[in-house]
Each structure stands twice: as C-alpha cells, then as structure tokens.
Structure 1
Amino acid sequence: MNQLRQIGWRRGGLGLIVTALLLLGAVHLFADEPEIALTIGEPWEDMRQRSSAAIDPAIPGQYWGRLPKSDARLRLIDPQYGFVTPLARFFTVTFDNERVGTIRMSPQIEPLLLDDTLKVVLDLQEQWRKGGWIPVRVKDDPPFADTPEWRAQLRDVNQGGWSYWQAGDKYKLMMGVNRFKDDRNPTEERYLIKLELTKQRLKQ
C-alpha cells in the first residue's frame, strides 16, 4: 500500500504540483498570507466563510475538489492537533456531499533548495510533535532529520523520502520529499514537498 500511494503521488499529484508551481508563477496575491482554515468533515461553507483565501463552493451531492484562487497556507484549526503550513501554490481540498474531505498540497510556492526544504519539513514535524501527533511506520520511513544520511537520500533522484504521522483517532498524514529538475535553475538541486492530510479511519 505504501508503494502504491507513493506511485500515485508521483504519477498523478506530481504533474499537478509542477503545473501549479510553474504556470501560476505570475500570481502573487499573498501579501496578507491568505489561508484556508478548516477541519476535516466540517460543512464546506463553514470552511469558506472562515478562510481568508477564496475558494469555490462545493457541488451538492458530488465528490470533487477545489483549489484556492490564490497562493494560500493551510491552517488545521483542531484545538489540539492544529498546525499551519507555509504558503502553497498547489493546494487541493476535496469535498464529499458538501463536507471537507482530503487535503493534498505542496507547502511551497516554488521548488526549494535542500536547506530550505529541510527547514519547512522540520518545522512541520516540530508542530506535529508539539501537538501530540505520533510518527508511524518509523522502521521503514522514519521522520525527516537534518543528517548526512537523510541529505544523501534526498539528493538521490531515485529515492527521496516519506514520513507518516497520526493524530490519535482523528487524522493521519503523509509527507514526501523528492528532488526535482527545475528548468529555471538548471544548475541547482531543487526539491518538492508533498503533503496529504486525511481523516483517520479506524478498523472495525
């Protein structure tokens, strides 16, 4: 399952991320850092009214997704497990019967250098730890760290890395980092971060 999820991100999500980062590069509507503030499962209109970034209405009776109309950061408003991301250019929120579903995003507005990538990733992990999130699958996919071993793994275009986190019985997320060939900066090593946040579905 882990491998299938990663393949799905690389084949489906990665192309959308690259398109959003490159084609929307001229859009700079984030002077006040607009945000999408939500909790999973809440009514879509509650999220729209609370958020400072514009996003279209849900379609009644349908499962689909929307992108904010500008760069925006994610704010999960849970009183215990909440966290805030940097501004994102690729940012999708699904809805199911007019309720907030899965969030998929790349918490950056352009491909980042490795030092900047690690800064974002480690800040997010620190927020999760402080909020009570627990890393899972640590034997195969431990949390990211600024170590020579992790840097070498991320620099390998055939590897990259993934980390998985769980917030009690409420949420789960996965975060991945992969090296990316940035045609605008052909002599530099650039990276993309992928983040997926979903509701925790407990086994019956």
Structure 2
Amino acid sequence: MNWLRSIGWQRGGLSLIVAALLVFATVRLFGAEPEIALIPGEPWEDMRQRSSAAIEPAISGHHWFSIPKTDARLRLVDPQYGFITPLARFFTIGFTDDRVDGIRMSPQIEPLLLDDTLKVVLDLQEQWRKGGWIPVDVNYWPPFADTPEWRAKLRNVNKGGKSYWQAGNKYKVMMVVGRFQDDRNPTEERYLITLQLATP
C-alpha cells in the first residue's frame, strides 16, 4: 500500500513540475517584450531565428535595412559586452550581403521627459561600464551624467549631448540626446535618444 501512495506522490510531483515548465515557457513566449537579438556581422537569418520580434528576410546582394514589425528592444548577444535597451518604436537594422550591418534606433516608444531620458541613458551607460565598454573621445564627448550642467546643456535646443563608447575592437556605440518638439505635449520639454551600434 505504501508503494502505491509513493507512486501517487511521484505522479503528483511530476505533474507540478510539468505545469511549472509550461507556465515558464508561456511567459517566455508571450509575456516577454519582443526583442531583436543580434551580433553585428552575423548572418541575417541567425538574427531572425533568435529574435522574438518578427522582421523581414534580407534582400540578397543588397545593402539596405529592415524594421521590426512591432515595437522591440535590442539585445546585443555577446557574453561580455551584451546589453539590452528599452522598447523602441524607431528601430532600423542594416544588412549587407545577407549579414547584419549597422543598427540605428531610439530606445523609447515616445519622446520622454528629461528625468526619464536620463534614466534610460544612465542605465545604458551603466550596462556598458559593467560589461567593459570604455567611453572614448571624452575630452570632446564625455559620458552623460545627471548634473545641473548636463541638464542645462540638454535643455538647450542648440546643444544637446553626445557620447561614444567602445567595446574592445568589437563594437562601437554613439548615443545622442536632444530636445524634441512633441506635438502631443506642446507645453512639455521632451527628448529623443538616438543610438547607433556598429563595428569600429
């Protein structure tokens, strides 16, 4: 009788494990934000297969770009230098001869207030720092910071800010922040972040 009870417990435990795995898989497939997961220079189809956001095939023999079919975040798939952006509405991925080329995007789905802009920018810079990226050309383009001087510079429609970061000899990023006239919020100061990722 004890062995029957033991088999019942084993089946019940197995059912719980299977149910937990199904829930985990469902969350991974349907609950996560759509993303484009890539490595610059890799075959375009590798990126398409890895990404959860849909994107069209490359056009063989052409130098052009494509856009994800939904808002999507960028995930650089690199064990050391990888990083993840927030969801982006403007997101272009270039291709040359069926390989991933340059990436240009705004890691946001709408123009942001200054506090929210700085939060995104500083989070990205922190990911780069932790991954071993190095800011470059710092005499001309120092990293962004939440200081009165930086806030005044960003508020100036004729200035804005720019910063360059490099990951060894593998990748380079340019990040630009500027004031943006948002017709939906005409009385508010809104900002646009532009990010470009490429090989050096």
- TM-score normalized by structure 2? 0.84
The number of residue pairs the alignment matches comes to: 171
Residue deviations 1:156-175, cap 9 Å, x none? 00000000000001000100
**Match status 1:159 vs 2:159:** yes
Q: Equivalent residue for 1:130?
A: 130
Matches within 5 A, 1:2-41: 32-41=32-41
Match of 1:66 in 2: 66
Q: What residue in structure 1 maps to residue 48 of structure 2?
A: 48
Q: Where do residues 83-102 of structure 1 align in structure 2 (5 Å cutoff)?
A: 83-102=83-102
TM-score when normalising by structure 1: 0.83
Q: Whose radius of gyration is greater, 1 or 2?
A: 2
Give the match for residue 12 of structure 1: none
Question: After the TM superposition, which segments of 4 or more aligned residues of structure 1 sit over 6 Å from their partners?
Answer: none
**SS, match of residue 88 in structure 2:** coil
Q: Which residue does the alignment assign to 2:145?
A: 145
1:164-203 to structure 2, matched below 5 A, reads 164-200=164-200
Identity, % of aligned positions: 77
Q: Unaligned regions of 5+ residues in structure 2, if any?
A: 1-29
Output the amino acid matched with 2:70.
S
Residue 22 (structure 2) aligns with: none
Deviations along 1:16-50, one digit per CA (max 9) or x if unpaired, are xxxxxxxxxxxxxx963100000011100000000
Name the SS for the 1:122 alignment partner: helix
1:107 match: secondary structure = coil
* SS in structure 1 of the partner of residue 186 of structure 2: coil
Q: Which amino acid aligns with 2:191?
A: Y
Structure 2 residue 124 is the aligned partner of structure 1 residue 116:
no
